[in-house]
Amino acid sequence: MRFMKNFCFLAVMAWGLWGLAASAAAMTFSADLYSSDGHNGKIYMDADKIRVETKEMISITRLDKKLIWLLMPEEKMYMEQVLQSAAMNQKHLPANDSGASDVEREFILRETINGYGADKYKITINKQSSYYEWVSSDPGITMAVKTAAIDGSWWTEYRNISLGNLNPSLFEVPADYTKMSMSGMGGFIPRE
């Protein structure tokens, strides 16, 4: 049961982080990741690849391969799931897509978040759901550094952002891991 809870959390987190990281899609960086639910960790991003490490698990999202790998370091096992095309095409994921007619960005104010100068925006999707996003305007770091619910009920932010090249092996399954089969888990299509 705990495994399933961690699996579901990391799968959802990977998609949520893609939304937070979408404005940084052209950047290569690593950062400490903090969230209101206490699932803190580390994130690595290189174009269409994201690695999120928490104490429970590691998720590697490969948009270029349309896959998510969930690694369990203690067991040296992993699961592989195909990202469904509907999920890959959700309009709300790259919130910074100013060309999308269903995403509105309203500038609120300029403030400092964890040492980064940032412009706070209210993001509204389909004129229904809204959240706040702080986009750094510091030189070299043009990305969302924090995302939060309007009512403050949740938030996710990057701290200690480090720009630069990352080891490509961060975005691959280690050779000594064994693949674990998952049959028909909701929201994903198993790749056997």
**Residue whose pair of structure tokens reads 């399933």 in the numeric block:** 4
Measured distance CA(12)–CA(102) in Å, rounded = 22
CB 165 within 8 A of CB 28: yes
Q: Is the dihedral of CA 124, 155, 34, 70 positive or negative?
A: negative
Measured distance CA(151)–CA(114) in Å, rounded = 20
Domain boundaries, the chain: 2-190
Least reliable range by pLDDT among 21-30, 42-51, 128-137:
21-30
Whole-model pTM? 0.72
Task: For residue 5, give the amino acid letter.
Answer: K
DSSP state of 188: S
Say if residue 84's pLDDT is above 60. yes
- Which option is the CATH number for 2-190: 3.30.1490.100, 2.50.20.10, 1.10.3720.10, 3.30.70.3270? 2.50.20.10
- 154-191 pLDDT tens trace: 999 999 999 889 999 999 999 999 998 765 444 444 44
Measured distance CA(72)–CA(188) in Å, rounded = 18
